[in-house]
Structure 1
Amino acid sequence: MRVVAIIPARYASTRFPGKPLADIAGKSMIQRVYERIAKAGCVDEIWVATDDPRILQHVESWHGKAVMTSSHHQTGTERCAEALGQLRLTPDIVLNVQGDEPFIRREHLQTLIACFEDQEVMIASLMKPVQDMQELHNPHLPKVVTDQQMNAMYFSRQPVPFVRDQPQDQWLATHRFYKHIGMYAFRPHILHELVKLAATPLEKAEKLEQLRWLEHGYRIRMGVTDIDQFSIDTPEDLQRCLQLLDQLEDRES
């Protein structure tokens, strides 16, 4: 299977303007994401899809591949679809890797790609077992429930399912909960279909784009990982990022 990774990277951000260019121990965030994907060895081609010439020029300065896309996109999915069309790429699988996740692991990518060994899979994403009550009740960490074929049934910012007849402090002992890790992979024609879909009530209620796909009848195959992921959403996250970077480099050395 030929796999292309697209990293959507916009400059404007309410909480962290210029985030893709933020310095992390001598390299920009976007360069670290790009290099982590390349190091994984399971992707044939990598592109950064951006809306800002500063990001484009920065990526090209270290010989990365980048393409300019519209500044009007509402989601990274839309940006990926435009880039795929512009570049006229024809892979078997398209990975949408967020540009603010500099600790992406080979195992994440391999698990996503492996989902497509089933020819019926059109969209894939990742989930990880919830470790503690803080994660379970954190609305910034969406939870997911699946059917017996590992297809997502629902995503929510609330803990799902509700464990009846058990006190909440016993929920993790009586049921395995999963949090969603927001990486996606698509068959190319499905990606182009998804960006044409109208917004849906559940998506608007939860502010979770993937619910739009479920409401329109698409299936999302969930791969399971035990390896966590850390996104950088604010300047304050950078300090924690540096600590994680040291730990990661020690573990992989």
Structure 2
Amino acid sequence: MSVLVVIPARYASTRYPAKPLAELTGAGGVAKSLIRRSWEAACLVGGVDRVVVATDDDRIKEHCDAFGADVVMTSVDCANGTERCAEAAQALGGGFEIVVNLQGDAPLTPHWFVEDLINGLRADPEAGVATPVLRCDGRALNGFLDDRKAGRVGGTTAVFSRNRHAMYFSKEVVPFTSRRYDDAEDTPVFHHVGVYAYRPGPLAEYPEWDSGPLETLEGLEQLRFMENDRTVLCVEVEARGRQFWELNNPEDVPRIEAMMAEMGME
């Protein structure tokens, strides 16, 4: 019952070209690339049999080779990380019980997020895909609202049913709330954490489906599963005092570095 973690990484990005090679400076003053920090986060996850970086760019491959990462080259035609994971899994010959997509823009992802995700998918036979969600405190939600007010695309939010099956994901803040919350106050909004765990069947099907209108409008790859009637499980995870933020825009670099410093991450 093996688990593969794939870190998709592409050089060309409309919002942030060369993002995987962007450097983040930790609490000890050491600068490491985003892709290296994502690789190190993946290697801390328990119960994983293999971790690979999947890229279509020789510059990223050479950089990853230099710090010892396992790299799989994939096509330039992959439209998103899920398609790249599907291609990487196929290139490795398949045979994995679960394939995890740990996106290379989330170096603050704690190992227990991924471990809880894998366990959640195993426990729900109806779900072909699982993804973590984290209840926003006021600090996180107010950051989302500030981003939207400034015209920036910030984090993604999720709404789900009582059995934790996803109802929708959006780059807008859903459900709607107009009030501000104190930093430590719980809110009704859940932050979608950019990690996925797939069963092999739905992952192999994914590249065969056309992008639907919701995926196209939101720019969120997981909506393709939902538009094709596949169940996406939302696994609620606990921060345990850790802060979490994805690197979506260049403006996020100082925000993430400040979080790393606050948490004492080297």
In the aligned structure 2, how far is the partner of 1:181 from the partner of 1:29?
Answer: 17
Listed as ranges, the gaps of 5+ residues in structure 1 are none
Q: Which residue of the other structure, out of 74, 96, 102, is the alignment partner of 1:97?
A: 102
- Please state whether the residue corresponding to 1:191 is helix, strand or coil: helix
Map residues 111-130 of structure 1 onto 2, 5 A cutoff. Answer: 111-118=116-123, 119-130=125-136
1:195 aligns with 2:207: yes
> Is the contact between residue 154 and residue 248 of structure 2 (CA under 8 Å) also seen in structure 1?
no
Offset of 1:50 from its aligned partner? 0.5
Map residues 161-240 of structure 1 onto 2, 5 A cutoff. Answer: 161=175, 168-169=178-179, 176-227=188-239, 228-240=243-255
In the aligned structure 1, how far is the partner of 2:168 from the partner of 2:126?
Answer: 19
- Please state whether the residue corresponding to 1:169 is helix, strand or coil: coil
Offset of 1:127 from its aligned partner? 1.0
In the aligned structure 1, how far is the partner of 2:87 from the partner of 2:54?
Answer: 9
- Alpha carbons of structure 1 residues 179 and 239: separation in structure 2 relative to 1, 3 Å: closer
- Please state whether the residue corresponding to 1:84 is helix, strand or coil: helix
For normalisation by structure 2, the TM-score amounts to 0.83
Offset of 1:27 from its aligned partner? 2.2
Aligned to 2:264: 249
- Please state whether the residue corresponding to 2:193 is helix, strand or coil: strand
Which one-letter code corresponds to 1:6 in the other structure?
V
For normalisation by structure 1, the TM-score amounts to 0.87
Aligned to 1:65: 70
CA RMSD of aligned residues (A): 2.5
> 1:39-97 deviations in whole A, cap 9, x for unaligned?
23332110000111111122122221001111122111111111111111311110001
Aligned to 2:87: 82
- Alpha carbons of structure 1 residues 249 and 162: separation in structure 2 relative to 1, 3 Å: closer
In the aligned structure 1, how far is the partner of 2:72 from the partner of 2:227?
Answer: 31
Listed as ranges, the gaps of 5+ residues in structure 2 are 25-29
In the aligned structure 1, how far is the partner of 2:34 from the partner of 2:220?
Answer: 24
Offset of 1:183 from its aligned partner? 1.0
- Please state whether the residue corresponding to 1:124 is helix, strand or coil: strand
- Alpha carbons of structure 1 residues 59 and 215: separation in structure 2 relative to 1, 3 Å: same
- Please state whether the residue corresponding to 1:67 is helix, strand or coil: strand
Q: Count matched residues.
A: 247
> Is the contact between residue 135 and residue 187 of structure 2 (CA under 8 Å) also seen in structure 1?
no
Paired-residue identity, %: 35
Map residues 41-60 of structure 1 onto 2, 5 A cutoff. Answer: 41-60=46-65
Offset of 1:204 from its aligned partner? 2.6
Range that drifts further, 86-95 or 23-32: 23-32
In the aligned structure 1, how far is the partner of 2:259 from the partner of 2:211?
Answer: 36
Aligned to 1:134: 142
- Please state whether the residue corresponding to 2:214 is helix, strand or coil: helix
> 1:96-141 deviations in whole A, cap 9, x for unaligned?
0111211111121112111123233310001111323535644633
- Please state whether the residue corresponding to 1:176 is helix, strand or coil: strand
Aligned to 1:155: 169
In the aligned structure 2, how far is the partner of 1:214 from the partner of 1:221?
Answer: 11
In the aligned structure 2, how far is the partner of 1:191 from the partner of 1:204?
Answer: 19
Offset of 1:170 from its aligned partner? 8.6
Range that drifts further, 83-92 or 129-138: 129-138
In the aligned structure 1, how far is the partner of 2:126 from the partner of 2:101?
Answer: 19
> Is the contact between residue 130 and residue 136 of structure 1 (CA under 8 Å) also seen in structure 2?
no
